[in-house]
Chain A
């Protein structure tokens, strides 16, 4: 008891500071009886904490004491609202000791909320007397409480209530009758079968559906009560009600493990009703015993199908394996054979599975899809496959050998290593190279000596593979061996080992690279410079910059590439240093990758004074787009008196088919300079819109609210909403994809709404498509009629929604409502004919 008291003191101390259950309840009762929400909340939570603590395992006495204390507070002298909460507490902690109090409270004469609370507390009360109290209440309860008591007896699966419930199942009170049928189904006594069947024959409509559901549940309960024969009979009858019931019955057969129904399940696999067919697949996969496997094998023999193979694979077992083997060996149907080969991947290659591996190995080499499937299956098959493949590797040749090596690499198991290491000395270069790659995938430190040996004597292809493999090897011992080999090596070997060290990025590697950058061997220096460029360690940059200034041409090239990689890292803190690297790259490099990095960097870090350095790169070639972007950025930085030059640059860039953002910016800049450009019109986009925005859209509420534009648009008049005045403003989108970027157009975006209005004219009435995209929600009206709505958050995609519309001759009025949640927002609308070809139309421009 002491621990209980201590626990209560601890738990309740912040709020009530009491030390016995009775005292606790006395303290919190005023709170529970209060009309103040906060007080009720505090008291209820204190009561709950006490219940939770007292209910912990091993604290039975504490639980019982608290339960009794609560039960003692259920008298009529306690306010009803508090008693309801005390009853909720007994749902959590009440057992036998609480039943007498609950039995009194469920009886007539108590308020309905108290009777219902007592029923709930009895429903969860595990003591046998709780069932007894519920049975007793059955004769006294009425209306929905009676139905509740009946359901509670069902939930409790109270066999002793069966007689009473059978009586109620013949009651004239339909709600009670249905509840009794359902409760009887939950309890699952055999005597309930004729009662439920009678309900099936007497009821109609929704009530019949309840009885049908109960019928299946009764069968389930009978299975649970080991009355499988009765259950089978019910499933059998239920299966005749409808396809849905047949499906449910098939699952029932399988769950009950009814072997007598195997043939029926197997036959249902061919049922044309998808629900029945699907249930048959589930049932055939699930039912226990060998009988189903045998039945499936018979059907497979008669009428082979992928479906049957897959069910067998799910069932597993020797029979299923044999069927797959047979299908893989003997079938003429390519799809069946492939499926069988694929399904072996789900099996473990245990001691009985050697034949499956042999089969897969024999199929390897057939070429095409078979080889691909076999390779994948062997790669993922569980069990000791690796040993078998390793044995086979020595006997294989050509493509087969390469495939087996790839499998061993993909399996990454140490058992394949010896065979791979042997293959690394094969006469064939492709085999040796593949083996080295696979050794790297296995990644064992024990391979380091072999790989180091190959590294120093092999040709370029093998050396490349060996470097990759060494970079992947696990373990400190690999690192130690590589560093030791590097210390011993000279010349070209030393350079190669330095590349390995650089790739491994082990601790200390950058220091080794820095030191090696000063070695006399040019090969070593080159490897060191290359490694430093990849190191992501800023301390390497000064060395690289020095090499750019003083190194040989080859060293400069490598150092430059490395320095460019550091460009972004230093651009923010040391813009001029970064720009110097980029400009140097333009001066000395002809490598498109270097130049691309340099152009990108110049765009970020340079003023317009370097525009002339960029323009030569606008000529056709791989750098054209990057140079276009850079030229645009620098031209934008030209002063007012040089805008003529800027205009030339924008036109030049726009002529190069730039990316969307660059094109939009060029168009916008040109329009500012008085040059009208509209790239999107050619693709059928409506590009001139009047915008009315931004309306507040808290919690997306504007979707439901129809503002004045939805009943008619007058561009000359401002619109008033919630005390704010809004005016229509013309917006001509610069986007080559016709996107109206509302944030870009200057409208705040968080939980905002906008109306977009356009008028277009066509020469004659026609069918057309409106292809729209929006971020986020969109509604569209054509000539006052709503033609489209999409209400969900999304990003903008051109042509995401397509709507068929009819355009009238002359002017057509289009209204869009765009609502945003967060971040970007906008829309686009393209008009095409029904075949998707952009429609010829004119836009209202002012």
Chain B
């Protein structure tokens, strides 16, 4: 009997034959096994905030007046920032210039890390070692090796670790990924992602840092360079020593959704091609199953999954399926029903109590940021890369492999 697959078959079939195996890790989260062992709902969980600039302040406002998850300490290398942050909490809030002091505090059970990217790995790993649960802003790391080290530390010390890629906690993205993984638009051929912009060497001239700014500590493990107001507080993302640019900043959102939608949370692409020609620029990722992801100056909103028999386009507050029918039939038992996060902070808080794995667990954050970093490396080196997602190693290109990590400035050490 013919098993030829056609459009209509795919419009109405589930993902059963496509990938129930792939669906399992996302649906059944291992951490939930230990669910009975967490602190009770009434336990107070003290939060320390490392980095209280723009994004850090956003996070702090969620907890500043919380009784069950109170902000107990703030840390920032700019005195004005930490003073403002502490003031928003109250007189009892501790203020620190050095994050290690926050980690030493007994009343801090968990930390929210919202510093520039080049600090994430060191702070998060030290937090795990100090027994603190972690909410770390995206992109998770500055390098691929750092991301792996962060995931290893979180597992070693059994920490609840939420990556700040909060789109996984949004209904429209979950819905898109459920439909894609349930095979509603057939076999996925191509994914278009509208993220573009990498980082470059920093050549900014020296300027005087603002009063109360510990610039040496801001630089931390990155190569030394003098202060310039272009670096702090806003534009450090343009520079490679501190960030991967938009490719990691927004890639940690949209490429994270690609990984989710393709069921690749424990894997990644096998080939990465740099942009070509003078037209719209994009990096091309190829996955082992043949899916091609084009990430760059694509004329799509957010992320567009293109299957044999339809398309699903999703962005923040935007969802469009073509044909519309693919999104109207409810998901059945054999379809992929993904975990529903109650909200990104709420999910983290809930998991701190249940000791479960949050929606964007560190392992997921590490895999997603790895995809972003690979894109950057392909752009920088301007050549095709072969990647082994199982071993997390470059294949046949030792000079490209040098970009998997970077030396830290003495005396800093991961």
Which A residues lie at the B interface, using CB under 8 A? 35, 37, 40-41, 44-45, 48-49, 52-53, 55-57, 63, 85, 88, 91-93, 113, 116, 119-120, 123-124, 126, 144-145, 147-149, 151-152, 154-155, 175, 179, 182, 206, 209, 213, 216, 242, 244, 247-248, 251-252, 272, 274-279, 281-282, 285, 307, 310-311, 314, 346, 375-376, 379-380, 382, 410-414, 417, 440-441, 443-446, 472-476, 478, 504, 699-700, 703-704, 777, 788-793, 803
Is B203 touching A279 in the complex (CB atoms < 8 A)?
Answer: no
Contacting residue for B6 out of A85, A475, A791, CB 8 A? A475
B16 within 8 A of A: yes
Is A244 touching B333 in the complex (CB atoms < 8 A)?
Answer: no
B58 within 8 A of A: yes
B223 within 8 A of A: yes
CA distance A158 to B17 in the complex (A): 50
Q: Which residues of A contact B332 (CB under 8 A)?
A: 379, 410
Smallest beta-carbon distance A48→chain B, Å: 7
Contacting residue for B407 out of A124, A179, A699, CB 8 A? A124
Is A44 touching B24 in the complex (CB atoms < 8 A)?
Answer: no
Is B200 touching A52 in the complex (CB atoms < 8 A)?
Answer: no
Q: What 9 pairs between A and B have smallest CB-CB spacing?
A: A148-B410, A791-B61, A55-B399, A147-B411, A474-B9, A474-B6, A40-B203, A376-B333, A123-B407
Is B3 touching A414 in the complex (CB atoms < 8 A)?
Answer: yes
CA distance A175 to B332 in the complex (A): 60
CA distance A636 to B157 in the complex (A): 66
CA distance A123 to B65 in the complex (A): 46
CA distance A629 to B193 in the complex (A): 41
B359-398 residues at the A interface, CB under 8 angstroms: 380-383, 396-398
Is B1 touching A49 in the complex (CB atoms < 8 A)?
Answer: no
Known contacts A113-B224, A151-B413; decide if A704 and B84 are in contact (CB<8 Å). Answer: yes
Is B382 touching A443 in the complex (CB atoms < 8 A)?
Answer: no
CA distance A630 to B355 in the complex (A): 53
Q: Which residues of B contact A274 (CB under 8 A)?
A: 34, 37-39, 355
Is B334 touching A278 in the complex (CB atoms < 8 A)?
Answer: no
B21 within 8 A of A: yes
Is A443 touching B12 in the complex (CB atoms < 8 A)?
Answer: yes
A32 to B, closest residue via Cβ: B203
B315-337 residues at the A interface, CB under 8 angstroms: 332-334
CA distance A247 to B133 in the complex (A): 14
| Chain A to chain B contacts (Cβ below 8 Å), 11 pairs | A37-B205, A41-B203, A56-B383, A151-B410, A251-B158, A274-B34, A276-B158, A410-B333, A411-B16, A472-B8, A789-B88
Q: 10 new A-B pairs (CB below 8 Å) besides A120-B407, A244-B157, A278-B37?
A: A41-B200, A52-B380, A53-B382, A92-B399, A244-B131, A278-B34, A375-B333, A443-B12, A474-B6, A792-B61
B106 within 8 A of A: no
Is A789 touching B64 in the complex (CB atoms < 8 A)?
Answer: yes
B20-63 residues at the A interface, CB under 8 angstroms: 20-21, 24, 28, 30-31, 33-34, 36-39, 54, 57-58, 60-62
Q: Which residues of B contact A152 (CB under 8 A)?
A: 407
CA distance A120 to B406 in the complex (A): 9
Is A120 touching B223 in the complex (CB atoms < 8 A)?
Answer: yes
Is B381 touching A55 in the complex (CB atoms < 8 A)?
Answer: yes
CA distance A209 to B100 in the complex (A): 11
Known contacts A44-B201, A413-B17; decide if A791 and B60 are in contact (CB<8 Å). Answer: yes
Mark B260-287 against chain A: 1 for CB-CB distance below 8 A, else 0.
0000000000000000000000000000
Known contacts A41-B201, A441-B13; decide if A307 and B155 are in contact (CB<8 Å). Answer: no
Contacting residue for B224 out of A116, A216, A472, A478, CB 8 A? A116
Smallest beta-carbon distance B155→chain A, Å: 6
CA distance A35 to B201 in the complex (A): 15
Known contacts A57-B397, A446-B2; decide if A382 and B21 are in contact (CB<8 Å). Answer: yes
B204 within 8 A of A: yes
Is A382 touching B30 in the complex (CB atoms < 8 A)?
Answer: no
Q: Which residues of A contact B64 (CB under 8 A)?
A: 789, 791
Mark B91-129 against chain A: 1 for CB-CB distance below 8 A, else 0.
000000000100010000000000000000000000001
CA distance A151 to B224 in the complex (A): 17
CA distance A148 to B24 in the complex (A): 44
Is A147 touching B410 in the complex (CB atoms < 8 A)?
Answer: yes
Is A247 touching B411 in the complex (CB atoms < 8 A)?
Answer: no
Known contacts A206-B104, A213-B129; decide if A126 and B398 are in contact (CB<8 Å). Answer: yes
B159 to A, closest residue via Cβ: A275
Contacting residue for A56 out of B205, B399, B406, CB 8 A? B399
B132 to A, closest residue via Cβ: A244
A269 to B, closest residue via Cβ: B34
Q: Which residues of A contact B84 (CB under 8 A)?
A: 704
CA distance A276 to B131 in the complex (A): 11
Smallest beta-carbon distance A126→chain B, Å: 7
Mark B119-163 against chain A: 1 for CB-CB distance below 8 A, else 0.
000000000011100000000000000000000000111100000
CA distance A123 to B100 in the complex (A): 26
Is A37 touching B407 in the complex (CB atoms < 8 A)?
Answer: no
Smallest beta-carbon distance A110→chain B, Å: 15
CA distance A310 to B397 in the complex (A): 41
Q: Which residues of A contact B9 (CB under 8 A)?
A: 443-444, 474-475
CA distance A145 to B412 in the complex (A): 10
Is B411 touching A151 in the complex (CB atoms < 8 A)?
Answer: yes
Is A474 touching B5 in the complex (CB atoms < 8 A)?
Answer: yes
Q: Which residues of A contact B350 (CB under 8 A)?
A: none
Smallest beta-carbon distance A816→chain B, Å: 15
Is B381 touching A56 in the complex (CB atoms < 8 A)?
Answer: yes
Known contacts A152-B407, A411-B334; decide if A282 and B61 are in contact (CB<8 Å). Answer: no
